Amino acid sequence: MKNKNNYSKAHAKYLKKLKKDKIIVYFWRIVVIALLLGLWELLATTGAIDPFFFSSPSRIVTTIINLASTGNLFIHIWTSLYETIIGFVIATLLGGLIAIILWWSEKTRKVLEPYIIILNSLPKIALGPMIILWVGSGPTATVVMCVLICIIITIISMLNAFISCDNDKILLMKSMHANKFQILFKLVLPNALPEFISVLKINVGMSWVGTIMGEYLSSRAGLGYLINYGSQVLQLDIVMASIVVLCLLAAGMYALVIPFEKKFKKS
């Protein structure tokens, strides 16, 4: 039995169920966050928890509005945002380039392999004091921290993607007389695109880690600074408000990667 949309009744029913399931998931997502926020607010207003230490949703909103009205919030957002974006771009491009060089020269790769592994397991925050000594405190130090945190994992992931390219495909290229440049640009790089997108997604998160760490270490502006400042003057509202803004920014940047991924999957 076909209806006007060319679906059988059973198929239409199935599609309807899929749609219903999706709505249910969305509904419960909203319920969960509403319940949590409601409970938090209730506990804070009844005095079951001390809003001085735990803040409350309404106090967070008020703090954000206050910070925004003085214009301070935007200075901090802008500082963190540009540090993160610069760090993210440098780490991704430079990491990709280094991965290409290591793919190109097997000898270089073998020589550098142990050092890359050591650098990967090293907690980058340990390098903080050195970074400040070398490049000074402020945005540059934050960007350097951000790059350090993202670049090693970028190199390792991209290099693995390049190396895992099917050997028979490389042989096919060679049988058609391709040189190494052609193998790189026509096969290895396009073949590694899915891995590149997952690296982008990982780096969005990691670059925020780098920025906040960098700002904790030494800075006069940025959301990391604001969080640090809030905790030092015991203004948990500021800390919480900064975290909320940070969540929104990170989610926004992640969302920017999604259409890129979708476009690739379609093509």
Pick between residue 37 and residue 170 the one whose CB is nearest to another protein. 170
Asked if residues 218 and 172 have their Cβ atoms less than 8 Å apart, the reply is no
Name which of 78, 199, 191, 218 is nearest 136 in CA terms.
218
**Footprint of another protein (CB under 8 A):** 166, 168-169, 171-178, 182, 186-187, 190-191, 193, 267
Pick between residue 190 and residue 252 the one whose CB is nearest to another protein. 190
Least gap, CB of 161 to another protein (angstroms): 14
| Whole-angstrom distance, CA of residue 154 vs CA of residue 100 | 11
Pick between residue 2 and residue 169 the one whose CB is nearest to another protein. 169
Pick between residue 113 and residue 166 the one whose CB is nearest to another protein. 166
Can you read off the two tokens belonging to residue 21?
């399931």
Asked if residues 193 and 108 have their Cβ atoms less than 8 Å apart, the reply is no
Can you read off the two tokens belonging to residue 30?
């909203």
Least gap, CB of 204 to another protein (angstroms): 23
Least gap, CB of 166 to another protein (angstroms): 7
| Whole-angstrom distance, CA of residue 173 vs CA of residue 187 | 8
Least gap, CB of 26 to another protein (angstroms): 31
261: which residues sit within 8 A by CB, 6+ positions away?
Answer: 197, 201
